[in-house]
Amino acid sequence: MTGSLALPTTPCQALSRGTAADGTLAEPRCGRQPSSRAGSPGARAPGGGRSPAFPPFCRLFAARRNQTRGAGVALYMATLGLIGSGHIGGTVARLAVAAGLDVVLSNSRGPETLGDLVAELGPHARAATPAEAAAAGDWVVVTIPLKAFAQVPVAPLAGKTVIDTGNYYPQRDGRIAALEDGTSTESELLQGHLPDAHVVKGFNNIFFRHLAELARPKGSPDRTALPIAGDDAAAVAHAAELLDVLGYDAVGYGTLAESWRSQPGTPVYGLPYAGGQGDFPNAASTPASAEEIRKALAAATR
């Protein structure tokens, strides 16, 4: 069910990645694919899969590879779009800027309300509308209350890797029958709204302060792993690249239909990063290895 995602050690390993015969995600191969900035939509591959368009990281990485800032493994000259700039969005943005990415922030109230965060993040950050953030991102993180998923802009996300942090909390989001009866998952709802994007579930199972505190450079003995799931293997690998840049290993655990394994209340939800304590805001952050995350995912029941 789960596959550990060993991430690239050199910039030119940072692109295409296949699925090995045992179901784990294979080591990436060097290569280039057309940039998502060119606006190419996700073409349907033979067999029905979609082929995301990713930026030419080998070249981009090489331009800034010797700079080191923050916890990320190295600096990518690429852009992260954020739809939602609250607890998780703001945290991901801070990690991204620390790793050398440009970020484009957005929220529901308008770019003018994000001045403080933009000022804190510095020249690699700007605020925009959700549609502009979607268009600008090489990856786009959707990190808003689940109830707002239908407001996410559709057209500018075509062909892009969209990382969905959303969790279903009925007291906040209202009752959603398909989630109550288990016929869908949060990220399948978003994927249904974004048919030409490649949705990957990620960052949903870690308390935002722990996410800020547990980022480590690649190779650190206490590097933490985060689970990711998605229907498109290339997009899952692309999301894993982002996690690596931000300071995390990745554990793939299947399709969006299987992403219930990281939903609220499951063993992997917050607990591994909180020393097993359910009171996340008052729990010290605790590193969690890929093996721990894999075991927690496997222990989930529905």
Ligand X SMILES: NC(=O)c1ccc[n+]([C@@H]2O[C@H](COP(=O)([O-])OP(=O)(O)OC[C@H]3O[C@@H](n4cnc5c(N)ncnc54)[C@H](OP(=O)(O)O)[C@@H]3O)[C@@H](O)[C@H]2O)c1
Q: Could you list the residues that contact ligand X (CB under 6 A)? A: 83-89, 106-109, 113, 130, 143-146, 148, 151, 165-167, 204, 207-208
Residue nearest to ligand X (CB): 86
> What are phi and psi for residue 217, nearest 5 degrees?
-65, 155
Distance of closest approach, residue 237 Cβ to ligand X, in angstroms = 22
Of 46 and 281, nearer to ligand X (C-beta) is 281
> What are phi and psi for residue 173, nearest 5 degrees?
-95, -10
Specify whether the CB–CB gap between 52 and 36 falls below 8 A. Answer: yes
Distance of closest approach, residue 113 Cβ to ligand X, in angstroms = 6
The letter for the amino acid at 174 is G
Of 83 and 162, nearer to ligand X (C-beta) is 83
CA pair distance 240, 246, nearest whole angstrom: 10
Q: At what angle do helices 233-246 and 87-98 cross, to 10 degrees?
A: 70
Distance of closest approach, residue 55 Cβ to ligand X, in angstroms = 24
3-23 as b/e, with b when 16 or more CB fall inside 10 Å?
bbbbbbeebbbbbbbeeeeee
Distance of closest approach, residue 246 Cβ to ligand X, in angstroms = 14
Of 158 and 206, nearer to ligand X (C-beta) is 206
CA distances from 185 to 20, 83, 255 (A): 26, 20, 10
Of 27 and 173, nearer to ligand X (C-beta) is 173
Distance of closest approach, residue 229 Cβ to ligand X, in angstroms = 14
Of 84 and 159, nearer to ligand X (C-beta) is 84
